[in-house]
Structure 1
């Protein structure tokens, strides 16, 4: 297949491209062709702007671009960057797909389980409609609506609501590891908030699955089937590193350090990937202990 990918130098994008290099013809939209070439050599084609791209040439578009949501405090300027790094490009891609004389058969566009907002319900699947109105939901709701504009009889749209991606070389886990390695880790708040996670290998595998399974469209929960409370996540991570986890971070400290962004740490969602499982997708790492054990930490 001919794939057009945005966000190819991000955590998920890099892993996906490495898997697809031998089987697909890949073009990456990037602000730094030099970085793409350093990662993948000359096995991929780079373009540095959407203007002039003939989207009709591609069988699939995979949209993974976006400013990291948890890298900085949520100032007004940072919120603007987070939103528009997702919304603007997604709107442009949808417009190109709508206008194409031969649109791609599938548009896989990123989203996040933040779409649901903070939740205390268990087993939230794609049919869940009781959203909590907060910043994370607002980002994702508009993001998904813009992507959905590309849907037609010729193009199915998959909205991938991703959880916490576990990888050894980036993402949330990389930020969590330093204090745990020094024995300074611990649960966050009361530790009862659920963390819906997914191993990077399963994340890439499900993207590949979506390319090939034409019955799948709309929201897709990209999380392992067994979410865990933060206290359990903390316990298993500490055991994996053979370190204690005795220093909890109280809620007031989280809010002091991170401001509004701290809500991502203090509240969670117990998300279930019903549509993937019903379609026959098999997770290689459905259990957190096994997922952490496989990573080179």
Structure 2
């Protein structure tokens, strides 16, 4: 089997490639940096520039599955121009893949796209499943909705469509966890707002394993890429502090302070989504880091 990955050099792509190669799967990847193009027997890079619709069609040679992870980070101040980049980097890349597969000979049978739990409305009480259809009225909710609609277009090409709605990714290098660790390490960490909002998190290893599960078993549809045990922001902050053996003595950080510092992007820190991974558990998916304590011990010790 051969898999083509976009966004291969990001957090999730890097971890997924390790799992694929370990299981004897050949990997092609698309990159916007010519310097990152590789040419190994089992790992080949190809250039694309979605902003001008350029793509090396050889990337699709003998590819069975496309994993689409490309997209500009949301963890950067949301100016109007950057909000447009967040949306375009998801919609335009997806459209370019679709248009290319629609005109070339290929053997692609499945596309698996990253998505985000930000599509679910902010709620302190509701537990969200893949079958829930409500969309959050925020900028991020709108982005994810448009992104998923573009992915659904691949059904017209008789390609199996899978979407992984990703939660808060905990990783050793980069990602949200390392940003949360910084203030706690120097003694100025604190929960945000009431601290009661839910954060549905996932260890980077388990997230990559979910993508592999969907590839291996040819699963279509939506999957929530989250641990079975979501926690509140206060619980997460306290667990990080405990793992690092650091005290938390400051009062909670008010929402208006973070809004002043981060602008509209502050929503990322205060939005509450209690998201279920029951669908994966029902398919006998095995989480290696289901509990937060085990995940943090692995990543921070």
Bin for the TM-score computed over the shorter chain: over 0.9
1:232 alignment partner in structure 2: 235
TM-score by length of 1: 0.93
Task: Provide Cα deviations, 1:110-164, integer angstroms capped at 9, x if missing partner.
Answer: 1100111322333211011232211011110110110111125842111110001
1:185 alignment partner in structure 2: 189
Cα deviation for residue 57 of structure 1 reads: 2.2
2:10 alignment partner in structure 1: 10
Selected match of 1:62 from 57, 60, 67: 67
Task: Label 1:56 to 1:96 Cα distance change in 2 as closer, same or farther (>3 A).
Answer: farther
User: 1:1-297 alignment to 2 at 5 Å?
Assistant: 1-22=1-22, 23-35=24-36, 37=38, 43-49=42-48, 50-53=55-58, 55=60, 57-70=62-75, 72-151=76-155, 154-214=158-218, 216-247=219-250, 248-297=252-301
For the Cα contact (< 8 Å) 2:29–2:59, is it kept in 1? Answer: no
Could you say what secondary structure the match of 1:117 adopts? coil
For the Cα contact (< 8 Å) 2:123–2:272, is it kept in 1? Answer: yes
For the Cα contact (< 8 Å) 2:4–2:59, is it kept in 1? Answer: no
Task: Label 1:237 to 1:41 Cα distance change in 2 as closer, same or farther (>3 A).
Answer: farther
CA distance in 2, matches of 1:277, 1:152: 30
For the Cα contact (< 8 Å) 2:239–2:293, is it kept in 1? Answer: yes
Superposition RMSD in Å: 1.9
For the Cα contact (< 8 Å) 1:63–1:108, is it kept in 2? Answer: yes
For the Cα contact (< 8 Å) 1:113–1:163, is it kept in 2? Answer: yes
TM-score by length of 2: 0.92
Could you say what secondary structure the match of 2:130 adopts? coil
For the Cα contact (< 8 Å) 1:95–1:150, is it kept in 2? Answer: no
For the Cα contact (< 8 Å) 2:136–2:142, is it kept in 1? Answer: no
Cα deviation for residue 21 of structure 1 reads: 2.1
